[in-house]
Amino acid sequence: MLIPFSMKNCFQLLCNHQVPAAGFKQTVKNGLILQSVSNDVYQNLAVEDWIHDHMNLEGKPILFFWRNSPSVVIGRHQNPWQECNLNLMREEGIKLARRRSGGGTVYHDMGNINLTFFTTKKKYDRMENLKLILRALNAVQPQLDVQATKRFDLLLDGQFKISGTASKIGRTTAYHHCTLLCSSDGTFLSSLLKSPYQGIRSNATASIPSLVKNLLEKDPTLTCEVLMNAVATEYAAYHQIDRHIHLINPTDETLFPGINSKAKELQTWEWIYGKTPKFSINTSFHVLYEQSHLEIKVFLDIKNGRIEICNIEAPDHWLPLEIRDKLNSSLIGNSANCHAY
């Protein structure tokens, strides 16, 4: 079912400004199913940006499958310090990405499928897409008890989340993307999505933690490949299109002119950390000094990921006033995570 081939002609058919190439007309008349050959979260998010920015989807919806090497993906208006364990992520080499859609933080690895449903703004319908996934699940395993919730999660057995949803609505084009947990590392997922920091105050979107489960735990035949093929079959039937999954390479500038600079931008400190809504930290800790515990109080105001106000308070005999003032002023302008560079 997977056919790697040059997508150039398909994109020529779908792009606003280009002339339809003969031959592929039938294939892409009513839509297209794509799958990324890359497991790089930034490259795959760049495909979403590119399609969103460049394609005319009128009468030609697109379904895009993608999987990533271990990554944590935060929503557009979230605070990574509040949402995940950045130290653990650094130790384990887990990527952090900020997506352009809103909503909460999720963990991705090769056991998690991402599905992006691109449509015109008019045709955007998250529940319709989730119902399509439910039909696909039902086709491969009729005994599964999976339901869509009002917040567009998919729950297995009434309590375990197997899919989370987010979306981006542009002027004319929109996309709904969601996860599908097949065989992800559940222990990693829960330890990475716990912040060690206390005392953060902010208006950033907070994630809504749930119990999660993998579909493969419920039925060992439900591999990622089986699930993707099932959804592709259902999508093709629904849109009356060819059910082939076309493999695409997100670094191919001949298919996606300008895509590499989009991927680069998504990897910048300014986008990942710098877009964090303003927040403050009000916390304290103790140090042992000459057999007594001293309380050190810390107050920080952080804007665009950088310290704007810094107020560290400590007993004078441990931290002389002059040094404390120097320390406070020297921290201003620093990134809230200097190690992340």
Ligand X SMILES: Nc1ncnc2c1ncn2[C@@H]1O[C@H](COP(=O)(O)OC(=O)CCCC[C@@H]2CCSS2)[C@@H](O)[C@H]1O
DSSP assignment of 173-216 equals EEEEEEEEESS--HHHHHHHT------EEE-SPPP----B--HH
* Rounded Cα gap, residues 211 and 186, in angstroms: 10
CB of 219 to ligand X, least distance (A): 17
CB of 205 to ligand X, least distance (A): 8
Total of chain residues touching ligand X, rule CB under 6 A: 26
Among 103, 137, 245, 273, binds ligand X (CB under 6 A): 103
- Select 213 or 239, whichever has its Cβ closest to ligand X: 213
Cα pseudo-dihedral 138, 245, 23, 250, rounded to 10 = 140
* Rounded Cα gap, residues 299 and 84, in angstroms: 21
Q: Pattern of binders to ligand X over 144-183, x per CB under 6 A?
A: -----------------x-xxxx----------xxx-x--
Token pair listed for 177 = 């993307």
Among 207, 214, 233, 276, binds ligand X (CB under 6 A): 207
Among 12, 120, 210, 223, binds ligand X (CB under 6 A): 210
* Rounded Cα gap, residues 273 and 306, in angstroms: 9
Tell me which residue of 212, 211, 223, 203 sits closest to 276, measured CA to CA: 203
- Select 105 or 276, whichever has its Cβ closest to ligand X: 105
Q: Pattern of binders to ligand X over 52-81, x per CB under 6 A?
A: ---------------------x--------
Among 28, 46, 57, 193, binds ligand X (CB under 6 A): 193
Residues 80-99 that bind ligand X (CB under 6 A): 99
CB of 26 to ligand X, least distance (A): 30
CB of 109 to ligand X, least distance (A): 8
- Select 210 or 282, whichever has its Cβ closest to ligand X: 210
Among 1, 127, 169, 208, binds ligand X (CB under 6 A): 208
CB of 296 to ligand X, least distance (A): 31
* Rounded Cα gap, residues 116 and 167, in angstroms: 9
> First CA to last CA across the chain, in angstroms?
42
Assess contact for 34 and 252: CB atoms under 8 A: no
* Rounded Cα gap, residues 31 and 294, in angstroms: 65
Tell me which residue of 302, 321, 322, 252 sits closest to 82, measured CA to CA: 302
Among 61, 70, 80, 104, binds ligand X (CB under 6 A): 104
Among 64, 107, 256, 273, binds ligand X (CB under 6 A): 107
Assess contact for 234 and 130: CB atoms under 8 A: no
Which parts of this chain interact with ligand X (CB under 6 A)?
73, 99, 103-108, 112, 114, 161, 163-166, 177-179, 181, 189, 193, 207-210, 212
